[in-house]
Amino acid sequence: DVKVTQSSRYLVKRTGEKVFLECVQDMDHENMFWYRQDPGLGLRLIYFSYDVKMKEKGDIPEGYSVSREKKERFSLILESASTNQTSMYLCASRLGGAIGVSGYTFGSGTRLTVV
């Protein structure tokens, strides 16, 4: 089974801190994604990557950046954390190839609180 591992289950950070959320997948998937989930808003796409060193903005990229130096690892970076970035962050990966055919595998999520 594909496994997507997010390094932290819970994080508490201070306003203004630089925050790194790490995600690792073990099945050689090309595509990786970062979502945030907030009550009443569902899952919203922040950034995604089709391959190593590639990145694309999702629907809400402001205040975030990403890094994909290795195929298995996709990092989400909050350059200067703010309280409105308190949220559940979900990482997902997907085998590349034919559009729409293969689904996503999600990690368990990181619940980030910015105080």
Phi, psi of 85 (to 5 degrees): -100, 5
The answer to whether 92 contacts other proteins (rule: CB under 8 A) is yes
Q: How far, in Å, are 35, 53, 88 from residue 44 at the CA level?
A: 5, 22, 11
The answer to whether 90 contacts other proteins (rule: CB under 8 A) is yes
With contacts defined by CB under 8 A, name the span among 14-22, 68-76, 78-86, 92-100 that binds other proteins: 92-100
Q: How far, in Å, are 16, 55, 115 from residue 4 at the CA level?
A: 28, 19, 28
CB atoms within 10 A of CB 18: 10
| Residue that is written with structure tokens 């591992």 in the block | 5
The answer to whether 64 contacts other proteins (rule: CB under 8 A) is no
Residues forming beta bridges with residue 8, ordered by sequence position: none
Alpha-carbon distance of 88 to 71, in angstroms, equals: 24
The nearer residue to other proteins, 4 or 76, going by C-beta atoms, is 4
The answer to whether 105 contacts other proteins (rule: CB under 8 A) is yes
The answer to whether 1 contacts other proteins (rule: CB under 8 A) is no
The nearer residue to other proteins, 2 or 77, going by C-beta atoms, is 2
Q: List the one residue from 15, 17, 20, 41 that touches other proteins (CB under 8 A).
A: 41
Q: Which residues bind other proteins (CB under 8 A)?
A: 4, 31, 33, 35, 40-45, 48, 56, 58, 90, 92, 99-101, 103-109
